[in-house]
Amino acid sequence: MTSVPRQPWWLGLAVILAGAVCLYASSSLTLSAQYAAIGPGLFVALVGAGLIALGILLLVQMSRGTAFDEQERAADPGMDKGPFLTVLLAAVLPSLLMEPLGLPLTAAVCFMLVARALGSRRALLDLISGLALGSACWFLFGRLGLQLGSFLPIAGV
């Protein structure tokens, strides 16, 4: 278990970075139009400037120790890294597995991983449950009109 840092400086820096990305993106866009006096870049630039200003404000608040007060931190029991990373893996895997393996098999793997992260120790049963759920959803939602791809693309089914 790791406790949540009291003053996460990286958050302020991340907000400033997001603002800088918006400002950079807006620099390549036309800033003026014929009548409107604003082009597609103005809003993006405003958002970027706003994020940078807010990121700085957040850092200032943290330096004063007021951003994340003790009460909030005390209420948070802290993070269990193992289960978190297992669920993260389950969330990332569909983007890699869905096209070659199809929905039912991907659902089986993700179901088993999430169940394991939350304390289940019956991996095989979870795999079968996930496969059954994925297959049922593939069939039923496919009938409803959702385009869910082939059942097992890698086998051409």
Partner 1 sequence: MDTLSMLLHGFGVALQPMNLMWALIGSVLGTAIGILPGIGPALTIALLLPVTVSVGPVSAFIMFAGVLYGAMYGGSTTAILINTPGEAGSMMTALEGNKMARRGRGAAALATAAIGSFIAGTIATLALTFAAPAVAELAFIFTPADYFALTVMAFTSVAVVMGTSRVRGFISLFLGLALGVIGIDAMTGQPRMTFGMPDLLDGVELTVVLVSVFAVGEILYVASRFRHQNEEIIPIRGKAFMTRDEWKRSWKPWLRGTAIGFPMGAIPGGGSELPTMLSYSLEKNLSKNKQEFGHGAIEGVAGPEAANNAAAAGILVPLLTLGLPTSATAAILLVAFQNYGLQPGPFLFTSNPELIWGLIASLYVGNCMLLVLNLPLVGLWVRLLYIPKPQLYAGILVFAMIGIWGVSGSAFELGMMAGLGVLSYVMRVYGFPIAPLLIGMILVPMAENQLRTALAAGQGNFMVLLHSPIAVSFYIAAALFLAVPWILKRVQR
Q: Collapsing DSSP states into helix, strand and coil, what is residue 64?
A: helix
Q: Are 151 and 157 in contact (CB under 8 A)?
A: yes
Q: Which is nearer to partner 1, 61 or 156 (CB)?
A: 61
- Sequence-separated (6 or more) residues with CB below 8 Å from residue 117: 82, 83, 84, 86, 87, 90
If one asks whether residue 101 binds partner 1 (CB under 8 A), the answer comes out as: no
State which of residues 17, 20, 31, 61 lies at the interface with partner 1 (CB under 8 A).
61
- Number of residues near partner 1 (by CB under 8 A): 81
Site map 79..98 versus partner 1, x via CB under 8 A: xxx-xx-xxx-xxx-xxx-x
Round the CA-based radius of gyration of the chain to a whole number and report it. Answer: 23
Q: Are 107 and 133 in contact (CB under 8 A)?
A: yes
State which of residues 3, 9, 40, 65 lies at the interface with partner 1 (CB under 8 A).
40
Smallest gap from Cβ 19 to partner 1, in A, equals: 8
CA distances from 11 to 8, 32, 49, 65, 67 (A): 6, 33, 17, 14, 11
If one asks whether residue 72 binds partner 1 (CB under 8 A), the answer comes out as: yes
Smallest gap from Cβ 107 to partner 1, in A, equals: 5
Residue reference for tokens 């569909």: 94
Smallest gap from Cβ 70 to partner 1, in A, equals: 13
Residues numbered 117 to 156 that lie near partner 1 (CB under 8 A) are 117-120, 126, 129-130, 133-134, 137, 141, 144-149
